Structures are given as C-alpha cells and as structure tokens.
Amino acid sequence: MIRSLVRVSAVLGLLSAAAVHADPPTISVPPPPPGSAVEAATGTAKLSWELVRASGDGNAILSPASVWEALAMTHAGAKGETAAEIAGVLGVADDREQIAAAAAELRKLLAEAKGDTIKLDVANRIWAQRGKALEAGFTDLLEEKFGAAAGIVDFAGQPEDARREINAWVGEHTAEKIPELLKSGTITPLTRLVLTNAIYMKAPWATPFQKSATRPEAFTLTGGDKAEVPFMHASGKMVAGTVGEGDAAATVCEIPYAGGRLAMVLVVPAKIGGLGTVLGGMKGDWRASWNPAGGVRQRPVILSLPKWTARKPLSLSAALKALGMKQAFVAGEADLSGMDGSRDLFVSDVVHEGFVEVSEEGTEAAAATGVIVATRAAVIPEEPLAVKADHPFAWAVVERGTGAVLFAGTVTDPR
C-alpha cells in the first residue's frame, strides 16, 4: 500500500494531484527503495511545492515530474560537486545509474496509470551540436533509461533553425499546447546541447460534472476583490477532510479521474489570504498526515470548483540555484564532463512552460522542460589580415632567435 501511495506522487507532481485510495497514507513512510519509481515519485513531490512557491504571481502551472526528468538527464552528464548539487535538488542519492533507473521506472508507472480512457505521455530527447563528440556512456544511458534519442542540429551556425526544430518537437509531444518552449534568444551560437522533456495528459473525470449545473459565482481574489467566474458543481463520496491548524488550516479533496489511478487534489486554505502560509508548510511528505484520525477520509462532499485555463512560461534558473543547484550554472566551474569529456560546458538556463484546462469533462494538461547547455565563450578569432605581394616588396631570411639576417633583398619585378 505504501509503495503505491508514494508512487502516485509522481503523477501528483505533474498535476498537483494524487490517486484515490480507500485507506489514506499513514504518517510513517519508510525511505523509498533506491532506483525505484517510488524514489522518483518522492523526488517530484519534494520538488512540487518548492517550484510552485518560486513561480511568482498569478496562476501557477508547472510539471515537477517534467523538471525532475530533465534534471535527471542533466545529472547523467555531471560529475563531482555539480552532480551532487543536482542530486540534492532531485531529492535522491548522487548515483547516476540509480537515478536513471528511477526515471525509467517512473515512466513505466505513468504508462500503466493512463489506462484506456486517459492520455498520458512522456517524451525525452537530447539535441546536440552537429559534429560535437559526446561521451558514449552519456548518450547510451539517456537512450536506454530515458528513451532520449539524439537530434542533431546546428546551434553554432543556425541557432534559430535549431530553436524552431526543438519547439516543433515539443509541440508535437504536447498536442501543440506548448508550441514555443524556447523563446527567441534562448538559443545562441554558443549553445551545444539542449535536453528536453515533454508531458501531456488528457483525463476525463470518473464522474463528469453536469454542464447544466455550471453557473457564474463570485471568486474572491487575493486582495479581497471579487470576480464572477463559472463554477462547476457536484456531490458524492470523495476522499476529503480538513488539515493543518491556524493560518495553515485547509480543506482538502481528491477528485478521481476515470479508472481511479489518478486524481486532482484540491487544497483550499481556510483563510482567504492564507494560500502563502499553507504553501509554506507543504513539503515532500505533504500527504503523510492525511489520515482518518485527521479527518481525511471517504465522505459525502458537495463540491464547487471553478473552471479555469492557465499557461505559464518560466525560467527556473533562479529557483534551482536557490535550492542548491549552483555550480552547474557557473562557466568554468560546472563539471558536465560526463557529456563530452571537457570542462567547457555549463547550464545557461532551465526553461519550463505549463498549460492546464479544467472543465466539466476533465483535465487537459501539458508541460515541457528544456535544460540549455552552452560552452564557455571562445576567444573571437581576429579577422584575417590580407597579405598580397602584388607590387614591389622587400624580403629577408632571418634567424628568429637572434634576429640575424641571413639573406635580404627586394622584389620589384618577379618575372
């Protein structure tokens, strides 16, 4: 039971959702087995709320599972302190084989979770500079454990063409919900690698909301103003209850998708302005205290939920640095030598974009992450000096060490 509960947090990282279980999780959760989907799931859950808190104002939408997978691929080419810092952000031990195995198990779990009525796809790809030699151990691991084949592009000569090709791949694997992950200017002639992950989900509710029950109601904004938006309504038995105390108190509810393997979890603060406080208390084990004694159980629920659509492009570099992944971003200090055998590479940016639409039928969500790896700026070669001896000139044969002239002369007519 515990294994399946923690497994589900991988999908939860994708949608801030969790599976519905008759017996909610207990407080005591043992460490996840190394190299398992449970380990990857635990890592995505830890990353979830850290990134949500760092995503700024407005509706947040991101995929911790996508970010985790992209960073895990980056870890496969990192060494030393750089690798240790990335592993810390991933929430796992600094062992590239173990991390890769956990990633493979996570994708296997997601493939099993989608069932017959849910679309849930994860895709990885690495994009490399044409002619650049990469370490075989790195590319083999990415292809075997991450399913990430290599795409060859010309960042140095045609950066815009490379950007368009990568964006087209992301669009294809997100049902065109993320058509431009890499914005103009993110790819430069110094880019050497881009590691991409794309996730797409389209899931109907186990019990769809009746459209006839949807009606406009007031939604209170953070500052206290009200906005009228369409609310969906439903009633029935769901896993729900109250958690936390004081300013951190909230009502929680799990809305199952078809098949029961996935659900959307709502966390509604008791106070209108309490979201920041509630988020501040949410860690990687955020569901561990949701047990019957705490009031979270299968019970009758009357649910009112607004319809919404959100999209948010993000640069995650600052957030990841704050979480401890620092050295990878520093040219000259980053150790990504597992990628190409050199110390010239560093992470120039980690970009992410998420999309979600919640309606009476269900939820459609997509996200993509790109880790952009650049080379240190090379010395710009001088413009060649044209030397054309096509008119009278002087010449000499010298011993360079002393300057002694062995022969000297002029040429005024070379015929």
Q: Mind listing the pLDDT tens digit for each residue in 167-210?
A: 999 999 999 999 999 999 999 999 999 999 999 999 999 999 99
Mean pLDDT over the full length of the chain = 84
Alpha-carbon distance values, 271 to 53, 231, 244, 278, 290 (Å) = 18, 20, 12, 10, 19
Contact 373, 339 (CB under 8 A): yes
pLDDT of amino acid 170: 98
Q: CATH 2.30.39.10 in the chain: give the residue spans.
A: 211-306
Q: Please tell me the least confidently modeled range out of 66-70, 195-199, 297-301, 399-403.
A: 399-403
Contact 101, 381 (CB under 8 A): no
- Mean per-residue pLDDT, 60-89: 95
Between 295 and 312, the higher pLDDT residue:
312
Contact 178, 368 (CB under 8 A): yes
pLDDT of amino acid 405: 42
Which range is most confident: 4-8, 38-42, 141-145, 410-414?
Answer: 141-145
Q: Could you read off the pLDDT of 336-370 as tens digits, one per residue? A: 999 999 999 999 999 999 998 989 999 999 999 99
How is residue 401 written in tokens? Answer: 């060490």
| Fold classified for 2-201+316-375 | Antithrombin; Chain I, domain 2 (3.30.497)
Predicted structure pTM score: 0.84
Confidence of residue 13 (pLDDT cuts 50, 70, 90): very low
Confidence of residue 378 (pLDDT cuts 50, 70, 90): low
Q: Which CATH architecture has domain 211-306?
A: Roll (2.30)
pLDDT of amino acid 154: 95
Q: CATH 3.30.497.10 in the chain: give the residue spans.
A: 2-201+316-375
**Residue 387: is its pLDDT beyond 70?**
no
Of residues 55, 51, 44, the one with CA closest to residue 11: 44
Between 203 and 386, the higher pLDDT residue:
203
Distance CA 104, CA 95 (A): 14
